[in-house]
Structure 1
């Protein structure tokens, strides 16, 4: 495998520009592909590095400056991602104050196809009261969705397989650490193969402390047009479905169907436990899909619930310029405040030198037959049991009102 190291802080190494392709690597006999790294200039994106991968059909841009998130992509001309009001992104973390707006400052940089939430916590902002040594009380505010998305990678490399199928891998290391707190390194590998309709994100989370540490991670995959439109459908094999709050209860009946852009729409969130394939090569894995109105375009996420046991559906069908988007979000936890999740056992504890691996695969489906086959696969998983749909927020998934 050919390896190109583009960033390595341990060696004081950083490469501003990089490009390679099949021809440059002497692999001209197969499908075309290319990998390019560049630095953006101007506005709030100034200083952001992008690694752009094109496998000949599927292309996507990785942002090492923003926690190895994936900014935008396309497949056979169809856009992957969404139109965020953050129109000048990807935003350099230097311009994101996570503590602003009562802990909602994270939203100032939110415009990715994939953004990770964590690692010490994720979910809604919350406060923790503490008593200091002198007897006085203090409050600590924890921001929306944690810090990992706003930490630059300390190591970045591109790997290309010299033998078929010539796998393309972008590897990045991102460390979230502070004195007197957790220290976890995420070793991320984003991979695809030339001509494929898939990309896989494999993350390994490593405890760097001399004591156990807690962690959470949520994979916030976000989609807009053309996969999201009026009468698009969410398709998955739930064991249970629970509305997060009274607002979600309002749309519970038919929650799997999307409406048109609606200015002023208030988000609706549904917590799921998904069933898995009982046997065969996909045993232990599950999938969740977003299908367009015509049933001839879809995106599907495949993953293992033993790695990511919680799934959240985020519906935010506001105006087209307000952020018309839906999130498909496998995670170690539901995006409730950390104290709520910890009390219910939805926090991963990494022992000394311990590791947790999480892998998600995005598959882009083109054509009515491919979409129908994927829906039939979901139906086979669901045939094991009928889903339980809770009519209101319920323990242990959400706070009962």
Structure 2
């Protein structure tokens, strides 16, 4: 039985443990679809995670995903047939009440960095600093100070929907949440995030809409820190992308000389390496990259609409005990907030204006599938050595 591009069985109905059944046929065999796949709401209840609401989604293909409602509706753990995919830093999914936005010179965001997806924004991403705030017409607030990747990470979401949806004879697991980032005399931005998994699928689709509920033109910056850990990241794993050139690299790239293409085993004391790649856009208007294990047994493909997030960073944190790689679509160049205001590339949303983002994370299973994805990316463009 062949798979389509979503990683689910081709044809009508749902694929359940080797059998293709209509939804009606499946319901004849179980009184509760959650026996096979479904959605469960939980509350984490120990340590720094205590009190964090989460949603567990599970497909019949063996994909498990954790949505962290109280962590900006970001994605925590993800596993495929028991193998972890989302990177774990050791921080845990800290309760937002523990977040320290301005501590450690604005780098305290690093204490909240954990899991498959940590979103940056909504009015600031990249390194922190002080920027003009006179547009808000509040004399005591002439500037605003930002920490690394902004305030979004520590804002709880409002859960709007969590249910199974039937579409044309198929079942989709769907959750929707909204996050409001607001202050008096400042920004009033809303993120509405819709996450969907096919009942029998191996991909995560999330669509985001950011709109301005306020009446002042408001800066908007947005970034996805999509983090993959062992065993999808391991010695010999290949980063595959259609790259024309490197727009920027951290000093550590030249100092350490670690390849951005082929990953080493964990290294004691490794200094993070960051590269901004200029990617070629596919004919479908999407950027597409992949991380594939040395033997091609498994991998992850990431694709997103290039118009919304034209920039992309590769974050290599190959340090022992924190071994991970970050794939980071971004609205802005790595030079950040102040530079974008100076060169005219800054984004501002007026009242009622919005921007939309569409992203897919797909689990690749087997050499045939990873080879096909690598060939498809190579058809878009090659990459430098």
Supply the distance in 2 between the matched residues of 1:313 and 1:51 (Cα, whole angstroms).
28
In structure 1, the gaps of 5 or more residues are: 1-21, 390-401
Q: 1:97 aligns with which of 97, 100, 109?
A: 100
Aligned residues: 354
In the alignment, the residues of structure 2 paired with residue 188 and residue 297 of structure 1 have an alpha-carbon distance, to the nearest angstrom, of: 28
Aligned mates of 2:263, 2:190 — CA distance in 1: 37
Structure-1 residue corresponding to 2:37: 33
1:137-164 CA distance string (max 9 Å, x none): 9985311110111100123311321342
Partner residue, 2:249: 244
CA contact (8 A) 1:269 1:312 kept: yes
Q: Give the whole-Å Cα distance in 1 for the aligned partners of 2:345 and 2:269.
A: 33
Matched, 1:273 2:278: yes
Name the SS for the 1:347 alignment partner: coil
Superposition CA RMSD, Å: 2.6
The structure 1 segments of at least 4 consecutive aligned residues displaced by more than 6 Å after TM superposition are 135-139
Alpha-carbon spacing, 1:79–1:295, altered in 2? closer, same or farther (3 Å): same
Deviation at 1:337, TM superposition (A): 3.5
Task: Kindly indicate whether the alpha-carbon contact (under 8 Å) linking 1:243 and 1:252 is maintained by their aligned counterparts in 2.
Answer: no
Q: For residues 94 and 382 of structure 1, do their structure 2 counterparts lie closer, same or farther at Cα, with a shift above 3 Å needed?
A: same
Q: Does 1:300 align with 2:301?
A: yes
Please say if residues 274 and 305 of structure 1, whose CA atoms lie closer than 8 Å, have aligned partners that are also in contact: no
- Gapped regions of structure 2 (runs ≥ 5): 1-22
Q: In the alignment, which residue of structure 1 is the partner of 2:215?
A: 210
Q: Residues 225-264 of structure 1 correspond to what in structure 2 (within 5 A)? A: 225-250=230-255, 254-264=259-269
User: 1:144 is paired with a residue of what secondary structure?
Assistant: coil
Are 2:59 and 1:60 aligned? no
Contact 1:126/1:337 (CA < 8 Å) preserved in 2? no
Alignment of 1:2-401 (within 5 A): 26=27, 32-56=36-60, 57-86=62-91, 89-128=92-131, 141-163=145-167, 164-250=169-255, 254-278=259-283, 283-319=284-320, 321=321, 323-382=322-381
TM-score (norm 1): 0.82
> For residue 7 of structure 1, what is the aligned residue in structure 2?
none
TM-superposed CA distance for 1:175, in Å, is 0.6
Q: 2:220 aligns to what SS in structure 1?
A: strand
- Equivalent-residue separation in structure 2 for 1:33 and 1:63 (angstroms): 19
Aligned partner of 2:9 in structure 1 is none
Shift of 1:28: 5.2
Tell me by how many angstroms 1:350 deviates.
1.8
CA distance in 1, matches of 2:162, 2:129: 38
- Normalised by the size of structure 2, how large is the TM-score? 0.85
